[in-house]
Amino acid sequence: MSFSKSSYHEQYCDSNSPIPILKGETTKGNNGIPLFTSWQTHPIAKDALELASDITEHVRTRYKERIDIKLSKGDLTLDQYDHALREVNSAFLSAKSNMVKSTFIMSNVQRMLNKHIKELGILATEQDVEEFNRLNPSRIGQLKVGGTLPKLTPHDFRRSFAVFFKRYGFGSSATIKFQYKHSNIQMSDYYANNSRLQAMEDVLLDKDLLKLMNEEGILMGVEIFDEIYNESEHLGGVGGERIAKDKFEKLSSGDQVYMTRSEIDRLVRNGTLSVVKLPTGGYCLNATCSRVCGIGEFASEIKPCDHQVITDKQAKIILKQNKRLIKAFRDLNTGDPMMKSILIGQKQKIMRNEQMIKGFKLSFEPFNDKLKGNIEIVEA
């Protein structure tokens, strides 16, 4: 309610694009004492504040005259006078001047909204009730099918916007913490968890979206197997070496490709072929495996996975990953004994990656760095 026409500002940082912000007062987390702060916003907020301010300008003039008269009569102290002027500068004034007694800010917004909703004939569906109960566990049963919204408070709007904000990917828990001035990110996580739950419900209810996602998953699988079987000149990993041997035998007999896209498509759709794309490069042809090799910084398995496949494209990704790991290793390799176990794991990972891509036509210098601070024992 402290926002006025002058509350909107644009701030420039490193980029040329302005960051729109609002400046105003909040009592959140400050024991009810108003605190001047800022929020990131959208440029449309400028238009909204100007519109709200302009349509109440006629009562603002009337209120200022009333305040001046009260001060001249001695009905207001200087502090009360300053407080009243700050209120009158708000863009959100009560338009019914004859009903205003002490405060000039509009009130009962939630009651007016409910009245408007009833006038429009908007009634709750079964899905609306389920969503309301999910997002408001303390108010289960207050919204009925065929009814209108129960009594709302400003905090209900605050909570709903937080869920909407996170649900559609506008920001993280940290963003909500900043915008909502939470002193504890746990409160922000509460909103974020509710939004994830509701977003998942949205996906489950959208049959067309599920169908589209399934079709995209199949197409991705076809593309990956086509890359493995037909496009990649070299294959690495235990699974890749096995496929390369089969490819050599089949192509030696006169076939142009190992398997056509239509054959791959049919086998992916019926579940005969399945694949997991590893985030650090490579593929796993055992879709039921829970290890998901290669994600971490440490290579904990002594025996290489029987199902891992490295293609030409994925080998380049692994090489880039190794360059990042080597840089991180050298930055951390200062001789600090506390870093020893981390560095050993990183070195093991780097050398394992080199082994996986050594059969590909890639140029790289073998990694031979030693851990600083280690004392080498040389036998006489």
Judgement on whether residues 81 and 147 belong to the same structural domain of the protein: no
Residue 373 lies in a domain: no
Judgement on whether residues 200 and 93 belong to the same structural domain of the protein: no
Judgement on whether residues 281 and 200 belong to the same structural domain of the protein: no
Judgement on whether residues 221 and 91 belong to the same structural domain of the protein: no
Pairing of strands 19-26, 8-11: antiparallel
Residue 47 lies in a domain: yes
Tally of CA atoms within 13 A in the half-sphere of 260 that contains its CB: 4
Q: Total structural domains in the chain?
A: 3
Residue that finishes a domain, picked among 79, 99, 119: 99
Residue 366 lies in a domain: no
Residues linked to residue 19 through DSSP beta bridges, in sequence order: 11
Judgement on whether residues 194 and 263 belong to the same structural domain of the protein: no
Q: How many Cβ atoms from other residues are within 10 Å of residue 158's Cβ? A: 13
Q: What percent of the chain has pLDDT over 70?
A: 79
Residue that finishes a domain, picked among 99, 117, 151: 99
Its pTM stands at: 0.44
Q: How many Cβ atoms from other residues are within 10 Å of residue 24's Cβ? A: 16
Task: Read off the pLDDT of residues 133-152 as tens digits, 9 standing for 90 and up.
Answer: 877 777 788 889 998 888 77
Which domain does 167 fall in, by range?
109-207
Residue 154 lies in a domain: yes
Q: Which pLDDT band, with edges at 50, 70 and 90, does 217 fall under?
A: confident
209 alpha-carbon distance from chain centroid: 20
Torsion sign (Cα): 324, 328, 333, 337: negative
In the predicted model, is pLDDT for residue 255 greater than 60? yes
Judgement on whether residues 223 and 351 belong to the same structural domain of the protein: yes
Judgement on whether residues 157 and 122 belong to the same structural domain of the protein: yes
Residue 49 lies in a domain: yes
Higher pLDDT, 191 or 156: 156
Residue 372 lies in a domain: no
Judgement on whether residues 308 and 235 belong to the same structural domain of the protein: yes
In the predicted model, is pLDDT for residue 205 greater than 70? no
Q: How far apart are CA 335 and CA 372, in angstroms?
A: 5
Q: How many Cβ atoms from other residues are within 10 Å of residue 276's Cβ? A: 18
54-58, 74-78, 159-163, 169-173: segment of lowest average pLDDT: 169-173
In the predicted model, is pLDDT for residue 283 greater than 90? no
2-11, 165-174, 256-265, 325-334: segment of lowest average pLDDT: 165-174
* Of 343, 353, 348, residue with least CA distance to 315: 353
Q: How many Cβ atoms from other residues are within 10 Å of residue 156's Cβ? A: 16
Q: How far apart are CA 196 and CA 372, in angstroms?
A: 46
Judgement on whether residues 203 and 222 belong to the same structural domain of the protein: no
Residue 247 lies in a domain: yes
Residue 131 lies in a domain: yes
Q: Tokens for 299?
A: 């290579």
Judgement on whether residues 131 and 246 belong to the same structural domain of the protein: no
Judgement on whether residues 233 and 335 belong to the same structural domain of the protein: yes
Q: Tokens for 119?
A: 């006038």
Average pLDDT over residues 346-364: 87
End-to-end Cα distance, the chain: 83
Residue 321's identity, in one-letter code, is Q
Tell me phi and psi for residue 214, to 5 degrees: -65, -45
Judgement on whether residues 127 and 78 belong to the same structural domain of the protein: no
Residue that finishes a domain, picked among 155, 172, 207: 207
* Of 284, 235, 233, 230, residue with least CA distance to 259: 230
